[in-house]
Structure 1
Amino acid sequence: MAEDKAMACPFCGWTNPGGEYEMLLHLETYHAEGEDASFRQEQGSVSENPGSGENISYVECPIDGCEEILPLQELDYHLELHSEESGGCTTKELDPVTPAEPDPHSGPSRAHRAAQRHRQSDPGSEVNERQGKQAKEARLGKAITIWKRLLKIPVFTSEGVHMRAPLQNEQLPNKHSPHGKRLGKAHLGKYAHESRMPEWLVSLLKREGQVTSQGVVSVLAVLLEQSPSTKHAYLCHPRVQHVSKLKREGGFCGYRNIQMLASYIIEVKSKGHEHFCGTIPSIFQIQEWIETAWDLGINSQARLETGGIRGTRKYIGTPEAVAVFRLLNIPCEPHGIKFSEPGKSEAHLMEYVENYFELGVQDPTQRVHRTNLPPIYFQHLGHSLTIIGFEKLKNGTKQLLVFDPSFHDSSYIVRLIGQTSFKHPAPDLALRAYRRGNDYLKRYRSFELVKLVPP
């Protein structure tokens, strides 16, 4: 099929209908290892430590509809998460047995319930929907396999994740320069200089809003209980929603993480909840709050550095998240971590997060602690996530548990929402998309967090 053959180079955007062979020839000719790629020449590179000579090349994810811009060294891990998202790491044999026992503290999203009603009214639609999902997942899985082969990325097996060498001298760039200098693509993303996002994207965001899943935290709690490798774990409030991106929306991760924290504020009705009127704020509403905060002198130098973000796709980060919460009188505490010594930043990060969740423990005899604490906004170079928990394995390894706005919950996780008891034959495999440990964190030297103050 033509749509299967059409491929776009992640380095320069070149597209051809010739399929895998011509793309491989293109990569070897124009993007051979050690040579300057045209993407790098066009987009520029980021010096993580000025004067060190260590540069990071950025590429666009080649998976259709993703449009995420990320460091080349992270492309393999990013593709693995796409595989998790599509259900590529599991099979029908791994599907758990799920007794139909509703969970009073969690439930499927409104869209999920609407889909259930539609299937009940039209029994044949369930078969068609399942076949459509299987075909879509098969196409995505095929695309991931092809790109891994072209880019010489090992395919994931059940034995573990491909290990990558850590970047040297890496540190989180200063989001805002001391003199209000206008920032570029290194800090604001691919669309750093646009004055307005395209109308089709405005319509998409207004029409679709965001993808949300409520009840995933409770599913993860059961999986952690069943995990043979978990010594103990902590989870945030069970009603925190996983908010993820729409297809083709690009890089709105900072906004999506603010939305996840807002889902907690709305649920527990903590200070400032009245500003949300019971609804997760849109990207456009968050942009208005940021601009208003700047008008009032809250982190106002950011307007000079960004040129303004209203109606654009420019990246936002920790300073903008803090500006929103302070504007709305929502108590929050930003925290920065930065050490040049390898391993020290991630060790400090793990200690900080573990100490935070320990404050929410109600029964110290439990193995998995289901707290009522808010999640944490988490920023590192080029991306932000929401920390929803912490885990210590029996071998002593520590891991963050996160919601990544770049990826949706897989279908085999969504099917478990609302179930209080099920037996999963491979819980560690199901948890993999939510775990971020040393293999992921060791490439960074700086982290930024925003912690909401619990009511």
Structure 2
Amino acid sequence: MAEIQCPFCDICSTEPFVIQAHIEEDHAESPTTSNVDAAQAKHFSQLTPPQRAAHPAAEDEEQWTKCTRPRCGEYVLLSDIDEHLEMHASLDISETALSIDHARSPKESKSTAARQAKVKESQKSRPDPHKRKTGRTLLEYFSGVSHHGRPPPQQTRPAAAALPLGRLGKRELGPHAFEKQMPDNVRLHLLTDALPHQINRLDGNGKLAPETVVDNETSGIIPMLARLCTEDEDVDTTYLCHARVKHVNKLRCDGNFCGYWNVQMMLSYLQAAGALPGMRQTPNVLQIQDTIEQAWSNDILPHGRRETGVIRGTRKWIGTSEAAAYFTQLGVSVEACAFEDSEHELAAVALLDHIEAYFISGLENADQRGTSHVTQLAPIYFQRLGHSMTIVGLQRNRDGSRELLVFDTSFETSAAMRALLSGKRSRAQLEIILKPYRRSDQSLARWEEFEIVVPRSAGVA
């Protein structure tokens, strides 16, 4: 086996684990990056999205704060805290008649306002889907790469470029980037707080019936979103993923594990689609870590191990590279794409084009419910700096604006949504109920790059 050189010094070894241990022990406190030659980069990087590229000078550029709201404890970018707290507020008032103030935050920068204006301007040049006869012609218009393999535009590329690699730090892996082992109490929460158990619930006939539930999972939200979006007079068309995708929210323990919860949401689709017949129970975070480590050992996107060090038993964050490695290890093919700002178009616009084209490609087998279309398509693993979510749909409004519909692991299903899912009425306004699931084109304009991973499997009815 060829020798592998430490990216930070001249130490060499033929054993990857020797170099890995050396990096963990000797370079943890000073995570700087040196460039590797093209041959090494090609060997270690088949999938290196832009946000996973090392940023040697940027370790202190992004600062985190721990949300002190009850039942939260999420580590949030300081630049993202206003939006995070606004989501908390919308959940807090989900059972009142209050409305949300959509005024721009006074902390919003001039550059962000300019980017939002650019998104608004792009709305004027986007076609109205209802003025076209078929989804095919609309797909041909959009610049995003559909899952049929159309060529990418300049700012949209497969997340596969060979970039200089090295050990990532807190900017990419979070506050626990150099952790050797998570605390025992966190490990215990991950092992025991999301186990299936039986409860008794009233069925449609008013009789108690046993039901198996997992406390941090919610089923049935996709059909409910279809109904609620149809009731919103400002919405023109809504596209949604497979109806059986579950919302998974975080467990109450110290550490952000959003990447793992999003993997679990992808798994809820794959299990419903029959793509994983041997998986009887959704794996927990520790089991997902084991599978990612196994993928790296099997030479599946092995550069991830070099970038993160060992993730087994730690609270290090994972991203699209680890998600892709995980699904590939399971035998599930994936498509990974990255979206970056270009001279002529923002990443947010390219992303929305791509997502809309993706869902339109599934209209043939979709279940139409008013203005909503529930497809058989997979949800999408969605990454931006500091956080990942699961895209479950896209909403086009009558004014031409667009909004992603997402499941965000940071927040539990609201009381209002739970009431509706149980067949009860809710006093909350429609916009309040939908707020936690919507990410507007204006809010997306704050970010300069995004990454997505889409698992590929035949849908089921």
Superposed displacement of residue 188, structure 1: 0.7
Q: TM-score, normalised by structure 1?
A: 0.68
Aligned to 2:347: 345
Aligned to 1:276: 279
Aligned to 2:249: 244
Aligned to 1:72: 78
- Residue number among 364, 370, 375 corresponding to 1:371 in the alignment: 375
- Root-mean-square deviation (CA), in Å? 3.3
Aligned to 2:64: 58
SS at match of 2:420: coil
**Aligned equivalents of 1:360, 1:262: Cα separation in 2:** 20
Q: For residues 342 and 191 of structure 1, do their structure 2 counterparts lie closer, same or farther at Cα, with a shift above 3 Å needed?
A: farther
Contact 1:175–1:317 under 8 Å retained in 2: no
Aligned to 1:88: 93
- Residue number among 417, 430, 445 corresponding to 1:427 in the alignment: 430
Aligned to 1:400: 404
1:213-292 paired onto structure 2 within 5 Å: 213-270=218-275, 273-277=276-280, 279-292=281-294
SS at match of 1:260: helix
Q: For residues 181 and 48 of structure 1, do their structure 2 counterparts lie closer, same or farther at Cα, with a shift above 3 Å needed?
A: closer
Aligned to 2:122: none
Deviations 1:135-184 (A, max 9, x none): xxxxxxxxxxxxxxxxxxxxxx5342544335599x9xx99994542211
1:65-144 paired onto structure 2 within 5 Å: 65-85=71-91, 87-91=92-96
Contact 1:175–1:187 under 8 Å retained in 2: no
2:196 is aligned with 1:191: no
The amino acid across from 1:185 in the alignment is K
SS at match of 1:59: strand
Q: For residues 238 and 364 of structure 1, do their structure 2 counterparts lie closer, same or farther at Cα, with a shift above 3 Å needed?
A: closer
Aligned to 1:302: 304
Deviations 1:26-50 (A, max 9, x none): xxxxxxxxxxxxxxxx999x99998
Contact 2:237–2:371 under 8 Å retained in 1: yes
SS at match of 1:315: coil
SS at match of 1:56: coil
Superposed displacement of residue 65, structure 1: 4.2
SS at match of 2:178: coil
Deviations 1:348-371 (A, max 9, x none): 111100011112214779511111
Contact 2:250–2:258 under 8 Å retained in 1: yes
The amino acid across from 1:432 in the alignment is K
**Aligned equivalents of 2:260, 2:57: Cα separation in 1:** 33
Superposed displacement of residue 445, structure 1: 1.1
Contact 1:375–1:387 under 8 Å retained in 2: yes
Q: For residues 66 and 364 of structure 1, do their structure 2 counterparts lie closer, same or farther at Cα, with a shift above 3 Å needed?
A: closer
Deviations 1:311-364 (A, max 9, x none): 000000000000011111112111111124485211111110001111221477
**Aligned equivalents of 1:356, 1:388: Cα separation in 2:** 11
**Aligned equivalents of 1:450, 1:365: Cα separation in 2:** 27
1:5-84 paired onto structure 2 within 5 Å: 55-84=61-90
**Aligned equivalents of 2:172, 2:160: Cα separation in 1:** 7
Contact 2:94–2:415 under 8 Å retained in 1: no
How many equivalent residue pairs? 343
Name the one with the larger helix percent.
1
Aligned to 1:4: none
SS at match of 1:400: strand
Aligned to 1:211: 216
**Aligned equivalents of 2:296, 2:190: Cα separation in 1:** 24
Superposed displacement of residue 64, structure 1: 3.9
Q: TM-score, normalised by structure 2?
A: 0.68
Aligned to 2:455: 452
Contact 1:48–1:56 under 8 Å retained in 2: no
SS at match of 2:436: helix
Q: For residues 406 and 343 of structure 1, do their structure 2 counterparts lie closer, same or farther at Cα, with a shift above 3 Å needed?
A: farther
Q: For residues 365 and 375 of structure 1, do their structure 2 counterparts lie closer, same or farther at Cα, with a shift above 3 Å needed?
A: closer
Deviations 1:243-292 (A, max 9, x none): 0101234210000000000001111212xx13422x21110110011000
Aligned to 1:386: 390
- Residue number among 92, 95, 102 corresponding to 1:160 in the alignment: 102
SS at match of 1:261: helix
Deviations 1:200-251 (A, max 9, x none): 1111111102611001112111111111211110111111100010123421
Superposed displacement of residue 451, structure 1: 1.1
**Aligned equivalents of 2:331, 2:416: Cα separation in 1:** 39
Superposed displacement of residue 54, structure 1: 11
**Aligned equivalents of 2:84, 2:367: Cα separation in 1:** 37
Q: For residues 424 and 269 of structure 1, do their structure 2 counterparts lie closer, same or farther at Cα, with a shift above 3 Å needed?
A: farther
Superposed displacement of residue 90, structure 1: 4.0
The amino acid across from 1:371 in the alignment is T
Provide the identity percentage: 35
**Aligned equivalents of 1:316, 1:352: Cα separation in 2:** 23
SS at match of 1:183: coil
SS at match of 1:369: strand
Contact 2:94–2:416 under 8 Å retained in 1: no
Which sections of structure 1, spanning at least 5 residues, go unmatched? 1-41, 95-156
Aligned to 1:33: none
**Aligned equivalents of 2:371, 2:380: Cα separation in 1:** 22
2:315 is aligned with 1:313: yes
Which piece of structure 1 moves more, 52-61 or 330-339? Answer: 52-61
Contact 1:342–1:445 under 8 Å retained in 2: no
